[in-house]
A and B are shown apart, each in its own frame.
Chain A
Amino acid sequence: MNCEKYRKMMSDALDGSLSHQEDKKLELHLRSCADCRLYFEELRLINEKIKTMPEVEMESRAEFEVKLSDKLRRLEREYNHVKRRNERWLLRPTWALIPAALAIVLVVYFVFSFRPASSQNLQLATLMSYEDSYLILTQNISEGDYLEKFNEEVLDSIFKELRNSDLESGEDEVDVYLRQNNIEINDNILLKESMKFTEGI
């Protein structure tokens, strides 16, 4: 161990924080090292002198105490005032909060209901309207009275479509068959047959 470490031990020894074992080590070192003996003596002298230095006294302590006491009392009054106010607030009946809650709900409702519709919202609305139509339709069908009328309407619309398509398309499967088999049939006869067929259904 070098002298520097013993010098730190000297400082600890002056503060009374050196263990018995360390104290013995230091004592042995001081016996053999003249420089450290001188160093320790100087430290001890300075330490003693500093410890006997008079304390710096606070001026006008009484005035200081009066001012501090006043400030603390004011602080305590403020603390109690805040505490009482908080207690009163906590003790208020809860129904007093109902109008406030309702107002918040209304504000939230209006804010969301008047939001500009985004494309996503429009798609959703369209889907919902289809769903509503389907529900109305199935409800009408299931009510029975409308079932027959509905079937008629549906079938009429189907045959109308068929007729229109026959007239518009020109050559259909029957025409192809007749042409391939060199069968000549008057168009009017075919039309009459077709009419009879539809009436029969």
Chain B
Amino acid sequence: MLTRDAEKNLVERARQGEVEAFMELVKKYEQPIYSLIYRMTGNREDAKDLTQETFIKAYEGLKKFRLKSSFHTWVHQIAVNHTLNFLKKNRKQRKNFEYLDGRLNDGGWKEPKVSSTEEASIEDELRIKMDQAIAELPLTYKTAFSLVIFQGMSHAEAARVLGCSEGTVSWKVHEARKILREKLRPYLGFIKEV
């Protein structure tokens, strides 16, 4: 785990053209950035390509980066903006999410540690339903929700990434929760049990 000072040092070295230092930052952020982009696009290949492009953009922009915001916020900003642009350009192609045809267990997921096969199947079904519900959220709610819930950001930090107010983030997350509750209500009994 990198400390704040160690991260600043790596950013400074990367700005001087040290690729190894930048790769240390990549190792720290590649998984959360990939996860965020995957939540937004719903496609593993696209998420991988966009993650790579995000880091290339970050490296190119690093010489102009003034360290006013943290590298963490800045790289998430690049990822969100780059993905939103990609989704705008490929709007027609983005109708079918990978999650929706239940291919999630093909390799991307960690195996759940459960005691019986019955519990495992309920757990899997519930996970797929939750994934479907999240995937079907409007993009703007989904992005704010993903930053707060999956990336663990505060409303203030998510607002800096999205370039909006904290109130807007709060409202978007609230709206996302309302939709999810409506869709997942039939499964709440299972949620309590599992």
Binding site for B on A (CB under 8 A): 7-8, 11-12, 14-17, 39, 42-43, 45-47, 49-51, 53-59, 61, 64-65, 67-69, 71-73, 75-76, 79-80
Contacts and interface: CB of A to CB of B under 8 A. Distances in A.
Nearest to B20: A69
Given A65-B26, A72-B55, A76-B17, 14 more contacts: A8-B170, A11-B173, A15-B154, A17-B170, A43-B181, A46-B188, A49-B191, A50-B134, A56-B38, A56-B44, A57-B109, A58-B51, A65-B23, A73-B19
Interface in B167-184: 170-171, 173-174, 177-178, 180-181, 184
Shortest Cβ-Cβ A-B pairs, 7 listed: A11-B174, A58-B34, A54-B110, A8-B174, A17-B155, A72-B19, A56-B38
B145 to A, nearest CB: 9
B127 A53 contact: yes
B27 A65 contact: yes
B60 interface: yes
Contact of A45 (B44, B131, B150, B192): B192
B24 to A, nearest CB: 11
B157 to A, nearest CB: 11
Contacts of A11: 170, 173-174, 177
A64 B30 contact: yes
Interface size, B (range): 35 or more
Interface string B41-63: 00010011001100110011000
A58 B177 contact: no
A8 B171 contact: yes
Given A45-B188, A49-B130, A65-B30, A7 B56 contact: no
A167 B19 CA distance: 109
15 contacts: A11-B177, A15-B148, A15-B154, A17-B166, A17-B170, A45-B192, A53-B130, A54-B112, A58-B51, A59-B107, A64-B48, A68-B52, A68-B55, A72-B55, A75-B59
